[in-house]
Structure 1
Amino acid sequence: MLSGEVYDAVNPRFIEMLMTTRDKLWEFNNLRPYEMDKMKDILRGLLGSHGKNFHVNQPFRCDYGCNIHIGENFFANFNLTILDEAEVRIGDNCFIGPNVSIFTACHPLDAASRDTGVEWAEPVTIGDSVWIGGNATILPGVTIGDNVVIGAGSVVTRNIPSGVVVGGNPARIIKKV
């Protein structure tokens, strides 16, 4: 799965891992808002790696968690969803607005192949000092450079260079910063 090869997404081992993660997320998402230490403990045990200073608002959803790596000074607002069949690496000083989705899973276009449960995954990399506006979607295989602003509601379908503001569907460069 992590190598980008086609795999059986309904393999019982994967399903078991997904259920374990969902159980941890259920606990995280159902803590009282003031139980921040417990929230951080759950995320520390779930994420692949993280900086010392990070915050994720409830609710948060992901598939495995262990394939997510966040840097220092990370903030995610409500309803972050990360489908982390491949690695998702997010740099330092990143701010993610509400209702953002980051996807790594890919599915065949051919219905007969898709119906078998096979898929593959492509990693997502997000640089340092990136702000992703609310309701944005980052698609599989995308790399976003440093010092980037992704406008609210954008759908990022291709790599984004450093030092730009992008927006739209599909997202395109609006200006350099």
Structure 2
Amino acid sequence: MTVPQRVLDIMHSPGIYFCDDPEMDAAQKEQLNLLYDFNATRPGDPKRREIMERLFGEVGEDVYLEPPVHANWGIGTHFGSHTYANFNLTLVDDGEIFIGDHTMIGPNVTLTTTGHPIRPDLRERVAQFSEPIRIGRNVWIGANVTVLPGVTIGDNAVVGACSLVTRDVPADCVAVGTPARVVREIDAHDREYYWRDRRIPEGL
């Protein structure tokens, strides 16, 4: 069983929906079984790639995910080529998550596309909404970052450790904090120094 298109249409459309659909429940359980199988693989096991291609919406070339990975579905997440995620990546991917080529994700990062209405009677009826997360090319997301629904992070951006990203981050910027704010653009200093006053060796 693959995830039925009807289920994907419900989750990926704007607005409130209710996650008490029996077909949705059955499809999610199958996805979670695939996720379990992925997390149980040994390093270097060729089955990892095969499972990833069945589990996720898209997997580019040379994608490496350090287990364990946690996901609501898997099918909602699209990985570009040459992406890397350290351990404990959490994907609340009822909505879609797009991760660009050459992006690096630190440990304990949470990408959550889904929220619930403030109105308590709707929450009792398991109402939720999902908005996509879009992460550009060559982004670096530091350890323990949380990205909330509907956020876009532009190409080459850096998000500092322990940040809570509630709004879009422009390309070529560094953002940090709770909530995350842009603190500066990536500039000439960054082309010469890799960290604080540590100079990048010539020829690199």
Is the TM-score greater than 0.5?
yes
Deviation at 1:82, TM superposition (A): 0.5
| Mapped pair 1:24 → 2:72 | no
Alignment partner, residue 143 of structure 1: 152
8 Å CA contact 1:4–1:86 kept in 2: the answer is: no
Where does the alignment leave 5 or more consecutive residues of structure 1 unmatched? none
Spell out, residue by residue over 1:50-78, the C-alpha distance to the aligned partner (whole angstroms, 9 max, x if none): 21111001000111211111111100000
Query: What letter matches 1:102 in structure 2?
Result: L
Deviation at 1:88, TM superposition (A): 0.6
Deviation at 1:110, TM superposition (A): 1.2
Deviation at 1:167, TM superposition (A): 0.7
Where does the alignment leave 5 or more consecutive residues of structure 2 unmatched? 1-10, 187-204
Q: Which has the larger radius of gyration?
A: 2
Question: Whose relative contact order is higher, 1 or 2, with alpha carbons under 8 Å and at least 6 apart?
Answer: 1
Alignment partner, residue 121 of structure 1: 130
- What RMSD in Å do the two structures reach over aligned CA positions? 0.9
Taking structure 1 as the reference length, the TM-score comes to: 0.96
Taking structure 2 as the reference length, the TM-score comes to: 0.84
Matches within 5 A, 1:155-166: 155-166=164-175
| Mapped pair 1:174 → 2:183 | yes
8 Å CA contact 1:53–1:74 kept in 2: the answer is: yes
Aligned length: 176
Deviation at 1:87, TM superposition (A): 1.0
Give percent identity, aligned residues only.
40
Alignment partner, residue 54 of structure 2: 45
Distance in 2, matches of 1:168 and 1:15, equals 36
Alignment partner, residue 104 of structure 2: 95
3-state DSSP class of the match of 2:98? strand
